[in-house]
Amino acid sequence: MAQKLIAPSVLAADFANLQRDIEMVNKSGADWFHIDIMDGVFVPNISFGMPVLEAIKKHAEKTIDVHLMIVDPDRYIQTFAALGADNLTVHYEACTHLHRTLQAIKAQGMKAGVALNPHTSVRLLEDVINDIDLVCIMSVNPGFGGQSFIEHTYKKVADLRGIITRNNASTLIEIDGGVSTANAGKLVDAGADVLVAGSFVFKSKTPEETIQELKSIANG
């Protein structure tokens, strides 16, 4: 079995001490930096944009996993490639021509991800699953950190695992929102590969140990 990955979400970091928090993640057992970009249109919140990602990139020594919660993401594919994103995830609900968007992301040398809002069925990806490197199943409504985990997510993970297996695809399943040690084991058992965790990591008194706990549970 491949290693299960932990992706701390920088949205929950202390922005006044961003370098410190990034170096904590560098030293920790975490695998990816999860970067939430929100435009105040696709989601009812604005997070941060290019200058902050540029600053993060200067210090980050791990995979940069960018989650775009923006309308018309095609406009920014080249920009995020130039900023050093390794994975670029767009929302299913924000793409009229998803297949074309995925090809454009890959043409820029990035891994292509698709995020699904809680109401969006994983079955909608069946016809395009072999073109997707990563599916991000939202286990909260996107827009804010610190929300509670939606229990229906387990079923979506298991259904998506079935679709990936049936199509002989190598797509990774990422879970985003309300992830903690309380649900990490069950998510991995259902078929998850990557766990994003924001508040649970950064609001913990010992974030590095918290990352390690998640990692051990996920790889238990």
Select the span of 7-15, 22-30, 56-64, 70-78 touching ligand DX5 (CB under 6 A): 7-15
What is the closest distance, in whole angstroms, from the C-beta atom of residue 117 to Zn ion in the complex?
Answer: 12
Find the length of the chain: 220
Question: Segment near Zn ion (CB under 5 A), from 80-88, 101-109, 169-177, 199-207?
Answer: 169-177
Angle at 66 between CA 206 and CA 138, to 5 degrees: 75
- CA of 35: how far to CAs of 48, 65, 169, 195, in Å? 9, 6, 25, 13
176 is catalytic: yes
CA nearest neighbour of 121 among 160, 86, 64: 160
Which residues within the stretch 20-79 sit at the binding site for ligand DX5 (CB under 6 A)? 34, 36, 67
Q: How far apart are CA 48 and CA 31, in angstroms?
A: 22
Contact track, Zn ion, 9-48, x by CB under 5 A: ---------------------------x------------
Tokens of 163: 């679709």
Summarize as ranges the residues that interact with ligand DX5 (CB under 6 A).
9, 11-12, 34, 36, 67, 140, 142-147, 176-179, 196-200
- The catalytic residue positions are 36, 176
